[in-house]
Amino acid sequence: MLKQVHKEIEELFPEMVEIRRYLHQYPELSFQETNTAKYIANFYKELGIPYRTNVGGNGVIATLKGGKPGKTIALRADFDGLPIQDEKDVEYKSKVDGVMHACGHDGHTATLLILAKVMKKYQDELPGTIEFLHQHAEEYAPGGAKPIIESGAINHVDAVFGTHLWSTTPLGKLQISNDVIMAGADRFEIIIKGKGGHGAYPHETKDAIVIASQLVTDFQQIISRRIDPLESGVITVGSFHAGDAFNVIADSAKIVGTVRHFNLGIQEKIIREIERITNGVCIASDAAYEFDYFKGYPPLVNHEKEAKLVVEASQSIEEIHTVDKNVKPFMAGEDFAYYTMKKPGAFFFTGAQKQANPYPHHHPKFDFDERAMPIAAKTLIGAYFVYQNTRESCSQENEMMRK
C-alpha cells in the first residue's frame, strides 16, 4: 500500500502546490486565522472526513478512522503567518499588506491536506486512526498547541509526529534528533525610568539611554561568564526605544529581547541574572525599572523510539538521499514541544532549500522548494505505518510472553 500512497502523493503534487500558493497569497496572523481555518474545514467537508473546528481557538482536527484495529496517530501542521511585508517577486506573492507566510506554514498545511485526500481512499485498509491536526498560532506565544492540548483534543492519541520544511537545508535531506531538537524561547521586557533633561546638562539627569545601553552590554556577559561553557544559551535584545529629540536626554527607555535555552535550569539562572544585573545597574544609576519576563515555548525534546521510527520511514523514500540522525539542536523555538511533553512523538526537518543562497525563515524574501512537500507527506505517513507495525509487533511479543 505504501508504494501506491507515495505514487498518489506525487500525482497530486500540482494540487498541493496550488493549495500552498493560494494560502501564501492570503496569510493571517496568529490567533486571527479564521479564513484559513474555514478553508481547511471546507477541504475536509468535501472529502467527507469528519472534522472539528475551534479546537483550542482556531484549530481544526480531522479524524480518519481506519477499517482495521490499531493506534491513533496525530500528524500536525501549523497555518499562521507573520507580520512581515512580502518582498518576493513571484505570482503568488502575499496580497495582504504587512503579512506573509515567511516560515513555510502554508506548505505544512498543503502537505497535510493532500495527504488526507490520498489516505481517504485507503480508509478501509488503514490500521488505527489518523488525526490530521491543523494548529493555529505557532508563531506567537502562548501559541496554539497548548490550548489544543488543554482542550483534551489529543488525550486519546498514542503518538504525534510533525515536520518543518526548512529553507536552509538541501532538498532531499532529513534532519532529526533522538533528544532535544529545538530551543526553549522566552521574551523579556525592561523599562528604565530615569530623569530626562537638556542634552547640554547631563549631570542634572538620570540618562535612561546610557543605563539601558549598559544593560544590553552586560547581558552578554551572562552567557560568556555566568553559564557553564558546556551549556548553551542566547540573550538577544531585539528592540531598543528611547527619546525623540537629538538634544534631549530621555527619561525612559524600553528594551525587549529573547532568551533561548535547552535546559530549564539554565533558563532559571538566566532569568535571575538578567534581573540581578538590571537591579544593580539601576541602583548604581539611581534609577527605577520595570522587569517582565514571559516564559514562552519549552525546549522541544523528541522521544527516542518515535525519532527512530521516522528514520526508518525515511528509508523507503527515494527522494531522501541524506538523513542526519543526530542534528545539532536549532536555537529557534517551536510549540510542538508541548505535544512531546504530553505524548510520545517526534519532530523533524524536511530539507526545502530553493537556491544556492537561500533566504532564512522570517525573511521578507523567504521561500522554499515546493518539491519538499511530497517528501514531508511521505515521511509523515511512513512514520504512521511504521508506528502501527512496530506497536503491533510489540503487542504480539508481550502476548506471547504472558502465555
- So which residues are the catalytic ones? 80, 138
| Calpha distance 216→209 (Å, rounded) | 11
User: Grid coordinates in use for 92?
Assistant: 503568488
- Which helix H or strand E contains 134, and what residues bound it? strand 127-135
| Calpha distance 236→240 (Å, rounded) | 11
| Calpha distance 360→211 (Å, rounded) | 33
Residue 146 makes CB contacts below 8 A (sequence gap 6+) with: 56, 335, 338
| Calpha distance 35→19 (Å, rounded) | 14
For 86-121, give the DSSP string: ----STT---STT-B--SSHHHHHHHHHHHHHHHHT
User: Grid coordinates in use for 45?
Assistant: 467537508
DSSP 29: B
| Calpha distance 224→233 (Å, rounded) | 9
Residue 359 makes CB contacts below 8 A (sequence gap 6+) with: 167, 365, 366, 367
DSSP 225: I
In 3D space, the residue among 164, 86, 91, 139 whose CA is nearest the CA of residue 352 turns out to be 164
Residue type, 401: M
In 3D space, the residue among 18, 64, 62 whose CA is nearest the CA of residue 43 turns out to be 62
- Which helix H or strand E contains 51, and what residues bound it? strand 51-55
| Calpha distance 306→176 (Å, rounded) | 11
Q: Evaluate the omega torsion of the peptide bond into residue 344 and state whether it is cis, within 30 degrees of 0.
A: no
